[in-house]
Each structure stands twice: as C-alpha cells, then as structure tokens.
Amino acid sequence: MSKPELSLPGDAQRLLEESLSSVREALLGLKFGNVSLTVHEGRVVQIDVTEKKRLKPS
C-alpha cells in the first residue's frame, strides 16, 4: 500500500519536514521513555522527551 501524497505550500512543507526531523532526532536519542508532541493549529510547537533509566539494585 503506498502513502498518499501531501500537497502543501512551500513553507508548510518545510515546517513539516523540520518537525519530522526533530521528532526523528528525539526518537533516535532515546532508549527507554516517552516522546510527547504539543500541536497548536496543526503545527508541532513543542517536543517533550522523558527518558527512563533503570537502576540496578545493589
């Protein structure tokens, strides 16, 4: 199944690509945890990354 093509104006396409790149970076830098996106009026305005670290009992 192929992905549908999005037809966006130049600025909107650039912002989308920047947002996707930022989300990709957040995911690649995370081993365990959460990535949360805040979206206002259809645009990603904030990315929160919460990393979980497990401590070994002594």
Per-residue pLDDT, 20? 94
Tell me if 56 is assigned to some domain. no
Per-residue pLDDT, 25? 95
For residues 46 and 22, the answer to whether their CB atoms sit within 8 Å is no
Tell me if 39 is assigned to some domain. yes
Per-residue pLDDT, 8? 75
Per-residue pLDDT, 38? 97
Low-confidence ranges of the chain (pLDDT < 70): 1-6
pLDDT digits (tens, 9 = 90+) for 13-27: 899 899 999 999 999
Is-above-0.75 flag for pTM? no
**What residues make up the domain containing 31?**
10-51
Tell me if 25 is assigned to some domain. yes
Q: Which of 15, 57, 17 is nearest to 40 (CA)?
A: 15
Q: Which residues pair with 48 in a beta bridge?
A: 36
Tell me if 45 is assigned to some domain. yes
